[in-house]
């Protein structure tokens, strides 16, 4: 059995999939997503590339995508499938289990030869139902996400273009046009960013300015 099939079979047989379904999630591959009111909650099971032939190591990534943010970022509404890498904010299960401490360690589980499948299933189910989902339940609006990333859990990779652009969009949606524009200008001033990022920033600036003009008129 291939590692992807092995992981899927384990998650299904251990009732983790049924737990996700009961909380409104549906599956596309190893991605589970639920959407309502312009909000997408994403849980993704990530397999490790490094494992013994008879075992599978995996962790959990989670994220939230807001249609309001995505429209400014991409010019489009949220699609039918959102990847965790497209979410803002997003987090690893190890971060959530530690209460988002700065020194949080990654958490990986192993299934297969000599692994205690029942114990792993219990840990994974608890992590998803008691930790991941309650966090996402709180992040269902621009204001809630704004407070989360600005006051509670500053995102990692603060200087990465994707992170800073999303921060700028949140400032804009929260009503701080000047801060949003200042952040975009700061990103552009970095001579190391590529042309694709510069093009996206130009498009985002245009959408923000159009939003502000619409509000004034």
pLDDT recorded at residue 217: 53
In a domain, 146, yes or no: no
Is residue 72 domain-shared with residue 133, that is, in the same domain? yes
Is residue 11 domain-shared with residue 114, that is, in the same domain? yes
Is residue 32 domain-shared with residue 122, that is, in the same domain? yes
pLDDT recorded at residue 91: 94
Mean pLDDT of each 10-residue bin along the chain, 217 residues long: 80 89 89 92 90 84 96 90 90 94 90 83 94 95 94 86 95 94 93 92 94 69
CB 47 within 8 A of CB 109: no
Domain-terminating residue out of 140, 171, 190: 140
Is residue 128 domain-shared with residue 186, that is, in the same domain? no
Is residue 176 domain-shared with residue 92, that is, in the same domain? no
CB 41 within 8 A of CB 64: yes
Tell me: the pLDDT tens digits for 57-101? 999 999 999 999 999 999 999 888 888 889 999 999 999 999 998
- Alpha carbon distances (Å) from 16 to 51, 56, 192: 22, 17, 43
Is residue 76 domain-shared with residue 174, that is, in the same domain? no
Is residue 62 domain-shared with residue 112, that is, in the same domain? yes
pLDDT recorded at residue 81: 81
In a domain, 193, yes or no: yes
Instruction: Give the residue numbers spanning the domain of 20.
Output: 3-140
CB 142 within 8 A of CB 69: yes
Task: Provide the number of structural domains found in the chain.
Answer: 2
Is residue 198 domain-shared with residue 129, that is, in the same domain? no
Is residue 202 domain-shared with residue 103, that is, in the same domain? no
Cα separation, 166 vs 91, in Å, equals: 15
Is residue 197 domain-shared with residue 120, that is, in the same domain? no
Single pTM value for the model: 0.90
CB 166 within 8 A of CB 113: no
Domain-terminating residue out of 140, 167, 197: 140
Is residue 11 domain-shared with residue 71, that is, in the same domain? yes
């Amino acid at each position: 059995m291939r590692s992807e099939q092995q992981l899927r079979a384990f998650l299904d047989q251990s009732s983790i999939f049924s737990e996700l379904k009961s909380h409104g999630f549906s599956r596309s591959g190893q991605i589970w997503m639920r959407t309502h009111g312009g909000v997408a909650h994403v849980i993704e099971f990530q397999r490790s590339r490094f494992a013994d032939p008879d075992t599978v190591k995996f962790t959990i990534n989670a994220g939230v995508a807001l249609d309001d943010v995505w429209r400014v970022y991409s010019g489009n509404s949220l699609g039918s499938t959102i990847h965790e890498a497209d979410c803002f904010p997003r987090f690893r299960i190890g971060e959530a289990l530690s209460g988002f401490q700065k020194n949080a360690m990654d958490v990986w589980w192993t299934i297969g030869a000599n692994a205690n499948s029942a114990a792993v299933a219990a840990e994974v189910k608890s992590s998803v139902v008691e930790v991941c989902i309650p966090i996402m339940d709180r992040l269902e609006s621009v204001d809630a996400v704004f407070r989360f990333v600005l006051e509670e859990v500053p995102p990692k990779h603060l200087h990465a273009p994707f992170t800073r652009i999303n921060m700028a969009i949140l400032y804009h949606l929260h009503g701080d046009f000047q801060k949003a524009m200042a952040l975009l200008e700061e990103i552009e001033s970095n001579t190391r960013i590529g042309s694709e990022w510069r093009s996206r920033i130009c498009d985002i600036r245009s959408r923000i300015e159009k939003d502000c003009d619409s509000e004034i008129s």
